[in-house]
Amino acid sequence: MSRLKSLQEMFKRYRRPGDIVFATTFLLMSLFLLSQIESQSPWRGTRQIFSQPAFWPTVSLAAMTFFAFLHFLSSAWSLRRPGRWQEVWQWVRALEYAGWFLVYVAVVPRLGYLPTTMLAAVLLALRAGYRRPRHLVSLLVLGVVIVITFRGFLQVRIPAGAIYEYLPASIRVFWLTYL
């Protein structure tokens, strides 16, 4: 067995499914950021180059673009493996949970932190396939524990829900403050 390998053998790379899509997206994103550097970070004519506000951002974006280009080239030259669009679909499916979070953030000011957290926990569990009442009840309890921990003990400022205004005056202050 020979220990010597050619340069091509040493750097042989197998493309993963979806790699070319990722490399293309990353290259386009880095080119866009590099094209915007002039409007985002100024060059001052009176300073030395290393103390310019735009110097290090430009260096980092240029390096990012260079390595993104190398990644794109290596992906384009690698042997193609099937499954590219299945992999891309996996990435898109992961964005569903970002959508759940955005809905959660939009509903909290209207419905309140406690009811929204409890509802979100149960809905996400149902989405993940958990159907047993024991699981759903434990998630309701977890929602209460999360809210009490963050609002009560850690004093995290989260806007109270508009629905709390309809509570009786005697308990409204407690709900507005702690739940």
105-139 confidence digits (pLDDT tens): 999 999 988 899 999 999 999 999 999 999 999 99
37-52 confidence digits (pLDDT tens): 988 888 777 778 887 8
- Residue at which a domain ends, from 56, 82, 108: 82
- List Cα–Cα distances, 83 to 17, 44, 80, 113, 150, in angstroms: 5, 49, 9, 41, 43
Please indicate, yes or no, if residue 87 is contained in any of the structural domains. Answer: no
Let me know: does 62 contact 97? Beta carbons within 8 Å. Answer: no
Q: What pLDDT score does 4 carry? A: 64
Residue 78, SS3? Answer: coil
Q: How many domains in the chain?
A: 2
Residues 122 and 153 in one domain: yes
What is the Cα–Cα distance from 15 to 22, expressed in whole angstroms?
11
Q: What pLDDT score does 8 carry? A: 65
Residues 40 and 103 in one domain: no
Task: Please give the average pLDDT of every successive group of 10 residues along the chain, which has 179 residues.
Answer: 64 71 93 92 79 88 95 82 77 90 94 92 94 95 92 83 83 77
Q: What pLDDT score does 49 carry? A: 82
User: Residue 30 is part of which domain span?
Assistant: 7-82
Residues 112 and 155 in one domain: yes
